Structure 1
Amino acid sequence: MLVKLQWLGLGNNNLRGSIPLEIGNMTELQIIYLHNNYLEGQLPGTISHLVKLQDLYVNGNQLGGQIFPDLGNSTFLRWVHIAYNNFSGMFPSSICIGRALTTVSAGYNGFTGIHHQTFQNCTTLQSVDFTANNIVAELRDCFSEHPRQLTTIAFSQNQLYGKLLTNGGEDFLCNRTNLFFVDLSNNALHGDLSKCLWDLQNLRFMDLSSNSFSGVVPFSRTCQANLKCLLLANNHFRGTFPLGLKKCINLITLDLGGNNFSGRIPSWLSMSLPDLNFLRLSSNMFDGIIPHKILQFRQLQVLDLSKNKLTGPIPNDFRNFTGMSQEQKNRDLIYSNQYIQVEIHIVWKNVDHVYNLKIAAVVGIDLSGNSLTLEIPNGLTTLSRLRYLNLSGNHLSGCIPEDIGNMVLLESLDLSRNQLSGKIPPSLAALESISVLNFSSNGLSGRIPTGSQLQTLVDPSIYSNNPGLCGFPLKDCVNLSTSTQTETSLDEDREALLLYCFVAAGFIFGFWLYWGIFLFRCESWRYSFYQYVDNMQGKVTKKVYSCISRFQVKGPEL
């Protein structure tokens, strides 16, 4: 046994099996790197014998069960990385007994609780990540008044409850002025927000989405320049667009979707927030027109105004939307360490999609579920970097732009439930990346374009409720030119037959009339002869009309 070993570095290998109990005999160990392997079983309790341990990295394995309570016996323990395992039960209360702990990364496990004294004496603690566990607790019980020096708090996807703002006006977050990254999304927190949030000088990322926060987003005359990302989606906020955001001039990502905001979308957005990369205002009650000045964004790559009460036309001048028409350099959207997943949700290909802010941006526009009118602007077709476009559920009319094929990267296009008319442009066949398409419930007509990628879209429902459409995957089109020529030819044949019949009848009548004068000199005979000729003419005429009628009935069937 290597009893004098101080550094054990076996991370990023394919190690399997369990961590041996004998590791506790290596009493000089200071660093343990066993991350990203296939280790299973429990974390051995003998690790508590390692009184000189500083860094413990066992994240990214298959370890499980409860952690031995005396894990933090070392007075030197600084970094504990145990994320992405199957640990359960209460998080060990003695983790910070040495008062040297700075970082705890325990996300994506099954911890059910944190003792209220666990971090009581952690005056050095800076980063805590318990993302995606099953912790049921009041947020304030997870921390005492200390540590105020926290920079990162990540408790997304748990079952935290309580308020940020106490009845006495004290705010849980605002007391921690060093905060850099806050993610409390997907919990059961409620109550109002305090305007002191805008005064946190170091705050760069804040996600409070998918809770039960309510009230009006507080107004403040200041907003610190470091704030890059603000996510308040899926709560119960009300009122007009938060005026305080006008001061957050360095925002890159803003998500206010799924609330009860109302009133107009302010025209100052593109001027006051010029660096916005992601803007989501969907599922609110915003009304009025889409302001033309919103098209002044140069960095914007995702615009989601869906499911509101917007009216009027879609603005047409997209020349400044270079974020959607030109390839962009990767921007620094990493808000904290590599183990924290920064995610927001968009509707991508008609399903909810988790959008990772650390990965290359998805470029798209969603204006569906409003009351927008007039034609689809041709300017949209200049946005060649678009990967999805959703204009469904509006009152758009006119034709689909002829140059829609210019959006060569388009993967999802939904124009359903409008009043569009005319033909589907042939340029649609140029969309070689298209995998989701919906033109249903419009007034489109003519032949559906064909193309290599379009032939893979075999579901006829994507063209349904367009009575004039034909072609794959609907029924074949009738050749209208051939049908017209056939009908013209039949009409000419009918006219010729009618002429021939009347000529024949006239000839027969004239022949008998002429010879009857010479053959029948007796007046009574001649009168009888003429009467006979008249009867014969009537019968011949009836036969002619009968023949023509039968020809007209059978003619279209030929």
Structure 2
Amino acid sequence: MAIPSIQSAILLSFLVLFLGPYLQTAKLCSCSDDHKVGNCHSIERLALLDFKKGMEDPSNKLSSWRLDNEDCCKWHGVGCNNVTGYVKELDLNTIKDMAQTTRLSGGINPALAQLKHLKYLDLRGNAFGSIPDQFIGSVKELRYLDLSRNYFEGRIPQQLGNLSHLHHLDLSKNLFSIQELQFLSQLTSLEYLDLSGSDLSKTGESLRYINGLHSLSELHLSDCQLSSFPLMTNFTTTLSVLDLSYNNFGGFFFKAILNFTALQSLDLSATEIQGPIPKAIEQMTSLKTLLLGLNDLTGHIPDVLANLTSLERLDLEDNHLEGPIPLSFGALCKLKELSLYNNNISGEITEFVNGISLCRPNSLLETLQLGHTKLTGNIPYSIGNLKSLRILYLQETSMNGAIPKSLGQLSELEALDLSLNAWDGELTEDHFANLANLIVLYISFDEKPPKPLFFNLSSNWVCPFTELFHLDLTNCQLGPLFPSWLQNLNQLGIIKLENVGISDKIPNWFPNLSLQALDLSNNQIRGKVPLELRNGLKSTEMRMLNLRGNLFSGTIPLNINETMPNLEFLSLSNNLIEGSIPSSICNLKQLTAVSLSSNYLSGELPQECWKDLRFLEVIDLSNNHLSGKVSISIWSAPRLSLLSLSKNGFSGNLPPNLKTLGPLRVIDLGENSFSGNLPMWMWKRLPHLEILRLRSNSFSGFIHEHHCLLHSLQILDLAHNGLSGPIPHCFGNFSGMATVDPTNPFSVYGSIEGIDLRRSSQEFGDQVNVWITKGIELEYNRTLAFLQCIDLSHNAFSERYLQR
């Protein structure tokens, strides 16, 4: 038995003697090709560095990826196997830390294919542009792949089918146009698939490959331009999440999903489904999330929804549902979010709130959105029992009565909107006692009610919601003194206190606020043009300043462009402001609307600067004491939609020729001293003009037939001038005077962090004074769209008054 051992020893000695140098060389070569530093293999380190070379990294996110930093396992976003040292994870997701970084961009270098042991790859939220075929099919050990929210376009590489071990695939929010999904047939281990945002309208029968993914538990196909979907019989007992939102299924597609009894989350938002919610939905007993908003659902909300006892989130907003909230909903004790916003829901909320507030343990409800409905009655006192409530929206319903003090017990509340209802009584300190987490507070009215909601708060009250950002109390009663409790709200970004009965000065502490929007319009606030704003307000973020309808005096601050460089909306109209308009106003490069009307401004306008305001849409300088000639520059603002210079002392001729004009809809130059002929360009190049008001000037000459080209004209006022000759017969062709469009307001559109500028559109020039019979002048704003008018009186037209 010893002979074999002797033979083995002789053989081993032979190998060492004759092959030893070759074995040593082979060992050295292997080491030089792939030596390790720490846990990092050199081949993989070089591959990562090649990947970095092909991209832009403006935030220096990959600063640790350096040749002199040899242990790549400690680089940002790189994870290695602790035993083998091979890279198993690459996480360069920028979504989770978007506030601290910017997107990586460039191409994906195929060198990443050297990461043969990579199991997890997350590149979401970048801008890589394309997926190289030779890379994506080579990392065959991948289990998790997320390439969402990049700018990938074109086709999806079919080489994805090589990734047979893949469990998670997310290609959503890209620009793919997909015609073939055959690669899915090879991904037999796939559990999660998200192709949302891809164009699948041309895939046709290729969609059937999804039905072969027997392990699939989550499927997301939102916004894929789908109008039909194959029957997915393989998933009725396995699929837990199905998102088909923002497609165009229409009809009664919802019924095709009812057999998916294992679903925990179903999203059919904005899929154009119609008809009533089928009662058979009660068999989907596993549902925790049901999203059916933005559709054409009709009828009553079925009671059987309450049989879905696991339901946590129910969204039925923006449909045509009617009737009351089912009483049985009070038993949905796991419900965290309920949105019935913008439906025809009627009745009271008392029974629902009473029921759900009795849940044991306490109700889990966090979000209750019932705004824009036909709900009636008052807010029940039991609302205070919903201790988890964070969002409560009851705006624009038919609810009324006193607001209960129990609201003040909602210590988790972050957003409260009770606007546009018929509340009465008062709000006291008890109403806000424990609202320390409040960020948004809206309690506003369209008009001041006969008995406005009164804020009965003591002057030394310390406001608990010190994190409040957005405050809108329009048409409530806060005055006459400026509410002192505002001085503790150092996080306020938006204040809207329009018509709240303040007849006071802006206090000295007010400049401590850092604001994006300030609306104090239609009060009786007095003092100089707010020098406090000029002296200390941290206003570099200010986008909207509305002080219309107060008693401010003094002059417009000369350095307004320095204190508020990002201002977009400025209204100082209806005050006592005097002096000239500073040229610095033309340095507000973001300015969209400026209204300085009904003041005591004098002097001439700043001249060659208006054309540089490329966002300017509205200029209203009417009813002042301004004089001199109007520069061509003011006509040349590229987006100008409304120009009102009426009731001033402007003189001279209108420009004889203009090469550039904005999309003007309103021109009001009435009650000035303009003279000369009506320029031809006005009629040829203003196809969208709806209001032309030149009354009470010194215009002369004829009205030419070309003037009839203003087909959109709704109001034409040329009265009290020196025009002569015949009136062209084509004046009957103004089609804008034959139709009424009440949805066509004459104002700048837009919003700033929830402030709807259309609701206060008259602040930005949405008003026109029109003379009617017997010298009576009326002001139109909200009803302006219903008015059609031609006034040619007090001119010198010939005897052929209407040329035929």
TM-score normalised by L of structure 2: 0.51
Question: What corresponds to 1:51 in structure 2?
Answer: 333
Q: CA deviation at 1:208?
A: 0.5
> Which of 608, 618, 622 is matched with 1:317 structurally?
608
CA-CA distance at 1:284 after TM superposition: 0.9
Distance in 2 (alpha carbons) for counterparts of 1:395 and 1:475: 33
Contact 1:72 1:96 in 2 (8 A): no
- 1:175-219 CA distance string (max 9 Å, x none): 421001111112233222256636633211110012211111112
Selected match of 1:124 from 408, 412, 434? 412
Tell me, in whole angstroms, the C-alpha distance in 1 between the residues paired with 2:456 and 2:724. 57
Residue 161 of structure 1 is matched in structure 2 by 453
Would you say the 8 A contact 2:434–2:464 is kept in 1? no
Superposed CA offset, 1:154-182 (max 9, x none) = 1111755334762x4336xx542100111
Alignment partner of 2:687: what SS?
Answer: coil
Query: Following superposition of structure 1 onto structure 2, how do residues 451-530 of structure 1 map, counting pairs within 5 Å?
Result: 451=706, 454-456=709-711, 462-470=717-725, 472=727
Distance change in 2, residues 1:53/1:404 (3 Å):
same
Q: Indicate the SS of the match to 1:406.
A: coil
1:30-41 aligned at under 5 Å gives the runs 30-41=312-323
Residue 446 (str. 1) matches residue 701 (str. 2) = yes
Distance 2:509 2:350 in 1: 47
Contact 1:194/1:218 (CA < 8 Å) preserved in 2? no
Q: Is the 8 A contact 1:36 1:58 kept in 2?
A: yes
SS in 1 for 2:378: strand
Aligned length: 435
Residues 1:420 and 2:711 aligned together:
no
Which ranges in structure 1 are unaligned for 5 or more consecutive residues? Answer: 326-362, 477-558
Of 623, 637, 643, 1:369 maps to 623
**5+ residue gaps, structure 2:** 1-281, 732-804
Aligned to 1:382: 636
Supply the distance in 1 between the matched residues of 2:301 and 2:600 (Cα, whole angstroms): 59
The alignment status of 1:202 with 2:484, answered yes or no, reads: no
Change in 2 beyond 3 A, CA 1:473/1:267: farther
Tell me, what secondary structure is at the counterpart of 1:389?
strand
Deviation of residue 18 (structure 1)?
0.8
Pair 1:88 & 2:376 matched: yes
Query: Given the alignment of the two structures, is residue 134 of structure 1 paired with residue 416 of structure 2, yes or no?
Result: no
The CA deviation at 1:106 is 1.1
Going from structure 1 to structure 2, the CA distance change for 1:103 and 1:150 (only over 3 Å counts) comes to same
Q: Is the 8 A contact 1:397 1:419 kept in 2?
A: yes
Q: Does 1:26 align with 2:308?
A: yes
TM-score, length-scaled by structure 1: 0.73
Superposition deviation, residue 266 in structure 1: 1.6
2:501 alignment counterpart? 212
* Per-residue Cα deviation, 1:336-375 (whole angstroms, up to 9, x for no partner): xxxxxxxxxxxxxxxxxxxxxxxxxxx1100001111111
Name the counterpart of 1:435.
690
Max Rg structure: 1
For 2:368 and 2:712, how far apart are their aligned partners in 1?
50
Q: Secondary structure at the match of 1:444?
A: strand
Taking structure 1 as reference, are residues 372 and 98 closer, same or farther at Cα in structure 2, changes over 3 Å only? closer
For the 8 Å contact 2:611–2:634, the answer to whether it is kept is no
- Aligned to 1:206, what secondary structure does the other structure show? strand
The AA in structure 2 aligned to 1:56 is: L
Structure 1 residue 294 displacement after superposition: 2.2
Hey, what does 1:306 align to over in structure 2?
597
Cα distance 1:456–1:286, how it changes in 2: closer, same or farther (>3 A)? Answer: same
Using the TM superposition, give the Cα deviation of residue 238 of structure 1 relative to its aligned residue in structure 2, in angstroms. 1.0
Counterpart AA for 1:161: L
**Contact kept? 2:287, 2:311, Cα under 8 Å:** yes
Q: Is 1:277 matched with 2:568?
A: yes
1:243 aligns with 2:534: no
Q: CA deviation at 1:275?
A: 0.5
Aligned mates of 1:420, 1:250 — CA distance in 2: 39
Of 456, 462, 470, the residue aligned with 1:181 is: 470
Aligned equivalent of 1:68, options 350, 359, 366: 350
Shift of residue 115, structure 1, vs aligned partner = 4.3
Q: How far has the Cα of 1:122 moved from its partner?
A: 1.2
Question: Alpha carbon RMSD of aligned pairs, Å?
Answer: 2.6
Give the structure 1 partner of residue 660 of structure 2. 406
Displacement, 1:397? Answer: 1.2
Q: Indicate conservation of the 8 Å contact 1:72/1:94, yes or no.
A: no
With 64-73 and 85-94 compared, the bigger mean Cα shift is at 64-73
Cα displacement (A) at 1:141: 6.3
Contact 2:693 2:715 survives alignment (8 Å): no
Deviations 1:29-57 (A, max 9, x none): 22212111111111122111112111111
> Contact (CA 8 Å) 1:275, 1:299: kept in 2 or not?
yes
Q: Does 1:263 align with 2:517?
A: no
1:246-295 deviation digits (Å, cap 9, x = unpaired): 22222000000011111212212122111000000111111122122222
* C-alpha spacing 1:133/1:470, structure 2 compared with 1 (3 Å): farther
- Please list the CA deviations of residues 279-333 of structure 1 after superposition, one character each: whole Å capped at 9, or x if unmatched: 00111111122122222211111010001111111221315742346xxxxxxxx
Q: Give identity over the alignment, percent.
A: 29
Pair 223,52 (structure 1): closer, same or farther in 2 beyond 3 Å: same
